[in-house]
Amino acid sequence: MTGTEDRPSSLVADWNTLHRVFIRPEDEKSRNTLVKYMEQILFGLHDFLNKHVGVTEEISLIKLAEEYTDTKINAEPLKKLADVIKDIIDEIAPRAVNVASPYFIGHMTSAIPFFMVHLKAITAALNQNVIKLETSKVLSVLEKQILAKIHRMIFNFEESFYLEHVQNTDTSLGVFTSGGTTANLTALWVARNLCFPPKGDFESIEKNGFHAAMTAHSLDRLVILVSKRGHYSLRKAAGILGLGNQNVIPIDVDSKRSIDLKKLKAAIKDLTADKKTRVMALIGIAGATETGIIDPLSKLADICQQHKIHFHVDAAWGGPVLLSEKYSPLLKGIERADSVTIDCHKQFYMPMSSGMVYFKDPRALDTIVYHARYVIRPGSVDLGIKTLEGSREANSLILDSALKIMGSKGYALMIEHGIETAKLFAKKIKKRPLFQLVTEPKLNILTYRMIPLDIRKKLETADIEERQELDAILDEINIKIQRIQREAGKSFVSRTRLRNLPDDPHNVLVLRSVMMNPMTTSRILDEILDEQEAILQSLEEP
């Protein structure tokens, strides 16, 4: 959608225009114009956020796509900034998804405190590139400080450790990444490289490659173990790192829906019996994407210690729970991890997109060092020497400022509200005869499904085969409920497939709720369930 036909003839691409775009506002008039634009963004969008929820018309996706088929770049300017902003507010925002609505309780993307918009604008205005000191200076130093703060939150070493490493230019406590996927990839990249120490002519897997590493170490296969609930980014990482994604071995979950320790131990025994297979990493999940479940991290740490396996904790979701005194014990054992992923754009409530990965050993990242002649030179202190990403924005400034504004207590309040709201929602679901809670919230995620009364009755006496048939009907009903509610545009829950009971052989369709918006109240939860009941009733009407 470009609308070339509406282009005012006064708009031309020339040096005068270029100067206007680059020159900072110096006089009163141009300052006022910029302020006016910022107001338009903040308040124009705010009005939209208050009015709209969800993808309002799913069917219009086809129509929307038809509107976006212009594949030619315009040679001359089409619009002034004010008009571009107005179009975004009027045409793009209402067709986007209002993830900030308190009725939007379906995904890990939600409302953010409004000051985040200001902080994001500041990072854009400064436009620092933390790949290197020459384009970031103090931002690189600040990033090291915030990395040490979060490292301390996870591993809580002695003061002397942090004094030694906080600004140590040789060591790294962690790195910022573009998100949880690249954080997991970075952790597993390091784990893979650590798995193959030098041997004879073989120097490193990074230099000599996968085949040479496996040959030098007399191995046939490298595997990663994680519960069935592991995030799919782990499989991507195994693909990229040359292991093959089929070598991410999913371990079954137990009655608590966390990794089954007996099956895990048996898998390690079986896999390593021939001495040709090595377990490269065991991953504990702290806040599973679909269920919010936390694996028994201390027990996993014991297993890793016993078998000398790299212990990675995927706390992309649950990591910030460590800021809550009340709920941090749920993550006991995370301090024994070798590496930990935490997303900033999840429960640190930062804007898209930012993640982090931490290493217990400040030397671990040495295994992925890269240099280039024009930047990240040997001996320099450039942060880009040990990161997967190249150019990177200063997301550390946003996290550092947010912690200043909120304090750990402010974050704890939001996190505790989420967990307690999820528990409240679970209670409400259990009380209603048309609902079945499928997974209890350990953190702030829960799943459930709707069951019409006649089917519930039949389920009571159904054998396995009949149950499967009834579950298939329920799957269809729940898909429809989720779709209709989403398209109605008032509220939103997501959906996934899970086992109904932990020992069931097949998966069922479940509705999934993620509670992270502090504005989601008990009344709103009632309204969401009422709406689902009304949808079910409408489906049952002839």
Ligand X SMILES: Cc1ncc(COP(=O)(O)O)c(C=O)c1O
Q: Which residues bind ligand X (CB under 6 A)?
A: 108, 179-181, 184, 231, 233, 289, 314, 316-317, 343, 355
How far apart are CB 237 and ligand X at their closest, in Å? 10
Q: Are 252 and 260 in contact (CB under 8 A)?
A: yes
Q: Are 69 and 61 in contact (CB under 8 A)?
A: no
Nearer Cβ to ligand X (171/444): 444
What are 278's strand-pairing partners?
222
How far apart are CB 229 and ligand X at their closest, in Å? 8
How far apart are CB 123 and ligand X at their closest, in Å? 18
Give the Cα separation of 528 and 521 in Å (integer). 11
Nearer Cβ to ligand X (362/418): 418
Nearest-10 crossing angle of helices 522-540, 395-431: 60
Find, among 403, 409, 345, the residue nearest to 178 by Cα.
345
How far apart are CB 192 and ligand X at their closest, in Å? 18
The continuous run of DSSP H or E covering 237 comes out as helix 233-240
Nearer Cβ to ligand X (354/520): 354
Q: Kindly list the distances between the CA atom of residue 403 and the CA atoms of 158, 344, 396, in Å, as whole numbers in the listed order.
A: 22, 12, 11
Beta carbons within 10 angstroms of residue 176's beta carbon: 24
Nearer Cβ to ligand X (202/348): 348
Cβ-closest position to ligand X: 180
Three-state secondary structure string covering 491-541: CECEEEEEECCCCCCCEEEEEEEECCCCCCCHHHHHHHHHHHHHHHHHHHC
How far apart are CB 540 and ligand X at their closest, in Å? 35
How far apart are CB 186 and ligand X at their closest, in Å? 12
Nearer Cβ to ligand X (289/421): 289
How far apart are CB 415 and ligand X at their closest, in Å? 15
Residues 6+ apart with CB under 8 A from 308: none
Token output for 113: 């405190």
Nearer Cβ to ligand X (237/323): 237
Residues 6+ apart with CB under 8 A from 194: 310, 364, 367
Q: Are 443 and 287 in contact (CB under 8 A)?
A: yes
Give the Cα separation of 273 and 333 in Å (integer). 28
Nearer Cβ to ligand X (140/494): 494
- Return the ∠ at Cα 483 (arms to 482 and 484), rounded to 5°: 95
Q: Are 93 and 101 in contact (CB under 8 A)?
A: no
How far apart are CB 18 and ligand X at their closest, in Å? 36
- Long-range pairs, 152-159, Cβ under 8 A, ≥24: 153/322, 153/323, 154/319, 154/322, 154/334, 154/335, 154/337, 154/340, 154/342, 154/358, 155/335, 155/358, 155/360, 156/335
Give the Cα separation of 392 and 176 in Å (integer). 9
How far apart are CB 363 and ligand X at their closest, in Å? 25
Give the Cα separation of 395 and 386 in Å (integer). 17
Q: Kindly list the distances between the CA atom of residue 127 and the CA atoms of 35, 123, 355, 362, 396, in Å, as whole numbers in the listed order.
A: 19, 6, 19, 28, 13
Nearer Cβ to ligand X (136/354): 354
How far apart are CB 233 and ligand X at their closest, in Å? 5
How far apart are CB 392 and ligand X at their closest, in Å? 15
Beta carbons within 10 angstroms of residue 496's beta carbon: 13
How far apart are CB 310 and ligand X at their closest, in Å? 17
Nearer Cβ to ligand X (126/352): 352
Nearer Cβ to ligand X (182/367): 182
Q: Kindly list the distances between the CA atom of residue 152 and the CA atoms of 141, 157, 323, 479, in Å, as whole numbers in the listed order.
A: 17, 6, 11, 43
Give the Cα separation of 351 and 119 in Å (integer). 9
How far apart are CB 92 and ligand X at their closest, in Å? 22
Q: Are 370 and 349 in contact (CB under 8 A)?
A: no
